[in-house]
Amino acid sequence: MNWLDWMAWTTPSAMFFIGIGCILLAMTCWEVLSPSLERKGFLPISTTRGDRLFISLLSAAFIHLGVIGFTGISIWIAFSVAIVWLFIVMKWG
């Protein structure tokens, strides 16, 4: 494991990447089992399931940045907002 030292892993970042990996894996399985169709929700463009995931992850990143940078409230609030947002976009986006 010595050559991994320089990557300077920490538990939170490792968990973050494992989480992202799991989401991608789950999305792939879901796609294999039932391929998604493009549809139009409240977002201004028609999207597939993968597009919606990307949109919600990208906006989640900016939600976190906004909360960290410009408010003093806990990052966990940002996290829960992002999760809720993820579900809203996936379901109705």
Partner 1 sequence: MSKTKNNKAWFLVLPVFALVAFSAIIPLMTVVNYSLQDIFDASTRYFVGIEWYQMILNDSRLQDSLLRQFIFSGCVLLIEIPLGILVALMMPKAGKWSVVCLLVLSLPLLVPLNVVGTIWQIFGRADIGLFGWALNSLGIDYNYAANPMDAWFTVLLMDVWHWTSLIALLSFSGLRAIPDAYYQAASIDRASNWAIFRFIQLPKLKSVLLIGVLLRFMDSFMIYTEPFVLTGGGPGNSTTFLSQSLTKMAIGQFDIGPAGAFSIIYFLIILLVSWLFYTAMTHNDNK
Partner 2 sequence: MNIKKTLGLSTYIVFLLLPIYWLLVMSFKSNQEILGSLSFWPETFTFANYMTIFTDASWYMGYVNSIYYVSLNMVITLLVALPAAYAFSRFRFMGDKHLFFWLLTNRMSPPAVFLLPFFQLYSSVGLFDTHIGVALAHCLFNVPLAVWILEGFMSGVPKEIDETAYIDGYTFPRFFVKIFIPLIRSGIGVTAFFCFMFSWVELLLARTLTSVDAKPIAAVMTRTVSASGIDWGVLAAAGVLTILPGVLVIWFVRNHVAKGFALGRV
CA angle 63, 69, 72 (to 5 degrees): 95
Residues 6 or more apart whose Cβ sits within 8 Å of residue 85: 56, 59, 60, 63
Rg (CA), the chain: 16
Interacting residues with partner 1 between 40 and 59 (CB under 8 A): 45-46, 54, 58
Q: Judged by CB under 8 A, which of 69, 73, 76, 91 binds partner 1?
A: 69
Report the partner that residue 3 touches, choosing among partner 2, partner 1, none (CB closer than 5 to 8 A by kind): partner 2
Query: Stretches 13-21, 45-53, 60-68, 75-83: which one binds partner 2 (CB under 8 A)?
Result: 45-53
CA distances (Å), 34 to each of 28, 31, 39, 49, in order? 10, 5, 15, 11
Report the partner that residue 65 touches, choosing among partner 1, partner 2, none (CB closer than 5 to 8 A by kind): partner 1
Q: Is 15 in the site for partner 1 (CB under 8 A)?
A: no
Strand partners, 47: 39
Site for partner 1, rule CB under 8 A = 5-10, 12-13, 16-17, 45-46, 54, 58, 61-62, 65, 68-70, 75
